[in-house]
Amino acid sequence: MSAFDKYPLGKPAFVTNILDRAAHLRTNDEKLFALENQRNASAYVIYRDSLLVKQEADGPRVLLGVEEAVKLGANPGTIFLGLRDGAPVFGMGISATAVESLMTRDDVAVTELRGMAMQGTVPPEQLSAIAMAKSMVTWHQRHGYCANCGTRTAMKEGGWKRECPSCKAEHFPRTDPVVIMLVTHGDRCLLGRQKQFMPGMWSCLAGFVEAAETIEDAVCREIFEEAGIRCTDVSYYMTQPWPYPSSLMIGCSARALNEEIVVDRAELEDARWFDRAEVALMHKRQHPDGLFAAHPFAIAHHLIGQWLHGRRDNCA
């Protein structure tokens, strides 16, 4: 099975949840401590955009025992992610110093998560839990001080809250909503390129939802700002958690009202219309000019696939 086959249409990375979040346990410190010390307690260990893995004969193992993770240098502060078949699962961070000390070992590696997901070396059903661990570890690393008074805050409720001991302010993890959309005009769709894309890659346009803005308005605004296209008939397809660092990709489609493209070069390297036949070749990575669409682990691939297959029940 290829990496492409691991993400069938409608199932991008990070969407298959295997955990019972068991939120009722987060306020019980005694119970959480007991869970952390269970022999079957396990953890995903996060370092920046990478994952600490054990190298084993049948491939990398991404879920480590908590005791095993601590011995490898993971930070002792754990984030309770939930239960899998009754066994507790945690998220843990690891310092640069600890990672450096592991670089000479053959039995462990610190591997970039995006690459592992694209190559299919991580079981797809585990990616949602890993995304949760990555988002939460990153949030704690970036929000250690109270935004209200500047005092160092403390982790509470299994890592799902930080509390200020001085002003008593409570701080909670945030998720940033991002619209990503396939815009169509007749039998063509609008795709764009960003400067950091691989040569030949084209994908759906996307942008952050702003304060006091609806999803529909965000879709129309972003498409007009980046490509000069006015849109209507916005419809929702599906969402994808995106742990870079903690976004929620909201997949939509829209119908264009005009054809002339005016590219915002600060946002895009280029944007253009593609007909259905050309997009089909790009989607299968068979385009004669080497052009290709987004990888199946990303929601953009699935937005395009729905359109190509004419599935208008979810994607216009």
pLDDT single digits (tens) 263-273? 999 999 999 99
CB atoms near residue 128 (< 10 Å): 20
Q: What is the mean pLDDT of the chain?
A: 95
Q: Is residue 120 part of a domain?
A: yes
Q: Assess whether the previous peptide bond of 245 is cis (omega < 30° from 0).
A: yes
β-pairing, 108-112 vs 50-56, is antiparallel
Which parts of the chain are beta strand (E)?
42-47, 50-56, 59-61, 64-65, 79-84, 87-93, 108-112, 154-156, 161-163, 170-171, 176-185, 188-193, 205-208, 231-242, 247-256, 270-275
Q: Are residues 198 and 109 in the same domain?
A: no
Q: Are residues 113 and 186 in the same domain?
A: no
Q: Is residue 214 part of a domain?
A: yes
Phi, psi (rounded to 5 degrees) for 90: -125, 165
* Predicted local confidence at residue 1, as pLDDT: 61
Using alpha carbons, list the distances in angstroms from residue 4 to 1, 108, 110, 283.
8, 26, 24, 11
Q: Is residue 194 part of a domain?
A: yes
* Predicted local confidence at residue 6, as pLDDT: 92
Q: Is residue 157 part of a domain?
A: no
How many separate domains does the chain show? 2
Helices 276-283, 299-308: axis angle to 10 degrees equals 140
Tokens at 186, concatenated: 């007749």
Cβ partners under 8 Å of residue 280, min gap 6? 308
Domain interval for residue 275: 176-310
Q: Are residues 135 and 186 in the same domain?
A: no
User: Could you report the per-residue pLDDT of 166-192, keeping only the tens digit for each?
Assistant: 999 999 999 999 999 999 999 999 999
Cβ partners under 8 Å of residue 190, min gap 6? 182, 183, 184, 205, 223, 227, 229, 256, 261, 271, 272, 273, 274
Does pLDDT of 315 surpass 70? no
Nearest of 173, 176, 178, 175 to residue 249 by alpha carbon: 178
* Predicted local confidence at residue 311, as pLDDT: 54
- pLDDT mean over 110-117: 95
> Which string of DSSP letters, residue by residue, matches 219-246?
HHHHHHHHH---EEEEEEEEEEEETTTT
Q: Are residues 184 and 120 in the same domain?
A: no
Does pLDDT of 68 surpass 50? yes
- pLDDT mean over 138-155: 97
Q: Is residue 160 part of a domain?
A: no
Q: Are residues 133 and 195 in the same domain?
A: no
- CA 228, 188, 239: angle at the middle one, nearest 5? 75
Q: Is residue 11 part of a domain?
A: yes
Q: Are residues 211 and 136 in the same domain?
A: no
Does pLDDT of 316 surpass 50? no
280: domain CATH number is 3.90.79.10
* Predicted local confidence at residue 5, as pLDDT: 87
